[in-house]
Homo-oligomer: A and B are copies of this chain.
Amino acid sequence: MITIKEIARQLNLSTTTVSNVIHGKTGEVSQATIDRVERFVREVDYVPNISARNLATNSSKIIGVVLKSQTYKYVSILMDPFVSELISGIEERLREHGYFMMLYISDDIAEILKHVSTWNVDGLILFYMLDDDGIRVSEKYAKPVVCIDTYCGEGLQHFVNIGLEDAKGMHDVTQYLISMGHRKIGFLSDNNVNVDNARFRGYRTALREAGIEYSDRNFFLLRPERDEIDRSLAQLVEKARDFTAVACVSDLYAVLFMDALRDHGIRVPEDLSVTGFDDNLYARLHRPALTTVHQDVAARGRLAAQTLIDILQGNPPARREIQAKVSLVVRDTVMPVEKIDKTRSE
C-alpha cells in the first residue's frame, strides 16, 4: 500500500503538497503540480490509511448503530424485519456521505460505551433504548446522538428522536374499524409503554370520540416469551369471541394472532376483523392480506442518518422530536360488522 510520503518522494515534492492536492486544498498549489499529483495518485491507486487519518484528526468516519440484543420474538434482533429495513436505510445514507456504519449489538451499555470510545465513533444512532440506558449514554458520551422510537424523557435534552405518528396511526385504523360498524374492538399488545403506549392512546382516543366505552377487558395482553406465546394466543382467541374486531399493535402480532384464530376455527374477516401496524412483508404476504397502518421504515433510517450527518456538519434540526408520517392501508382483513353478525358461526 503506497503512502503519501512515498508519493512525495517519487514526485520530488513534500508530503504537505501531496496531502493538500488530495484534499482539494488547491488554493496555493500551481496547476502543474496539481495535475502531476492527481495523475500519479490515480495511477498508483493511492488509498489513504484511515487509522492514520483518524489518529491525526482525532475523529473517525464511523457512526455507531446500537441495538439492544435482548428480544423474545426472534433469535437475533437483526432478524426483525423492522430492524433490517431500518439498518438498510441508515447504511444507504451513511455510505452516500462517506461515513461507515458499525453495528453494536449488546445488552451491556457499559460494553457498548467502551467500544464507542475505543473506535472514537463520531456519532451514535440508538434504537429503542429505554430511558435510563439513554441517560447513561448521555452522561458518558458527548457526541451527537440520534434516537429512533425512543420517547426521550428529561435528562436527554441534547438527543434528537426520529419518532412516528404512532397515536395518529392507531387512531386512524381504529376509526376505520368504527366506521365499518364495529364497537367491540380489542387492542392487542405485549406491553403498554413507549411506542406501544402511544399507539394505545390513539386507540383510546378513537373509541372516546365515538362514544364507545373502554374497559380493561379490551386489552389483549400477549405474552411473547417463547414458551408462553402459544398458550397466551389460545387464551386471546377465546377472549376474541366477545369482540368483532381486534386492532393489533404490530403486523407480526396480527399475523400470529390470525394464524391462531384460524387454528381454532375462527375465520378472518368473516368472523372477526383484524388490523395491524407497520405494513411490513408479513402484512403483504399473509392471506387474507392485512389491513394495516403503513410506515416507511427505510425512509426513517435514512432520515435518522441524515439528521446525524446534519448535526455533525453543524446544522442541528429545528426540533428535537421529529415524527414520520403514517397512512392507512385497507386490504382484506376487515369486514363491515353487519356481515359478520350474519355469518357468525356460534
Residues of A in contact with B (beta carbons under 8 Å apart) = 1, 47-52, 54-55, 60, 75-79, 81, 84-85, 87-89, 91-92, 95, 100-103, 105-106, 114-115, 117-120, 255-256, 259, 262, 281-282, 285-287, 298
CA distance A225 to B287 in the complex (A): 22
**A79-B85 contact in complex given A118-B49, A259-B287, C-beta closer than 8 Å:** yes
Residue in B47, B49, B285 whose beta carbon sits within 8 Å of that of A55 in the complex: B49
B1/A117 in contact, CB under 8 A: yes
Taking CB atoms, residues of chain B closer than 8 Å to A81 are 79, 81, 84
B287/A76 in contact, CB under 8 A: no
CA distance A117 to B120 in the complex (A): 20
B100/A102 in contact, CB under 8 A: yes
Copies in the complex: 2
CA distance A331 to B52 in the complex (A): 56
A88/B75 in contact, CB under 8 A: yes
Taking CB atoms, residues of chain B closer than 8 Å to A256 are 285
CA distance A177 to B1 in the complex (A): 56
Taking CB atoms, residues of chain B closer than 8 Å to A286 are 285-286
SS class of chain A's interface: helix, strand, loop or mixed?
helix
10 further interface pairs, Cβ-Cβ under 8 Å (given A78-B88, A103-B103)? A51-B55, A52-B55, A75-B85, A75-B298, A77-B88, A78-B84, A78-B91, A79-B81, A101-B103, A285-B286
Residue in B76, B88, B119 whose beta carbon sits within 8 Å of that of A85 in the complex: B76
> Which of A50, A60, A255, A282 has its CB near the most chain B CB atoms (within 10 A)?
A50
CA distance A327 to B65 in the complex (A): 36
B76/A298 in contact, CB under 8 A: yes
A51/B54 in contact, CB under 8 A: yes
B285/A255 in contact, CB under 8 A: yes
Taking CB atoms, residues of chain B closer than 8 Å to A52 are 51, 55
Residue in B84, B255, B259 whose beta carbon sits within 8 Å of that of A84 in the complex: B84
A105/B114 in contact, CB under 8 A: no
Taking CB atoms, residues of chain B closer than 8 Å to A285 are 255-256, 259, 282, 286
> Nearest Cβ distance between residue A260 and chain B, in whole angstroms?
10
> Could you list 30 A-B pairs, sorted by A, with CB under 8 Å?
A1-B117, A48-B118, A49-B118, A49-B120, A50-B118, A50-B119, A51-B51, A51-B52, A51-B54, A51-B120, A52-B55, A55-B55, A75-B85, A77-B88, A78-B88, A78-B91, A79-B88, A79-B281, A84-B84, A88-B105, A91-B103, A95-B106, A100-B102, A100-B119, A101-B103, A103-B103, A255-B285, A259-B285, A262-B287, A285-B286
> Nearest Cβ distance between residue A124 and chain B, in whole angstroms?
16
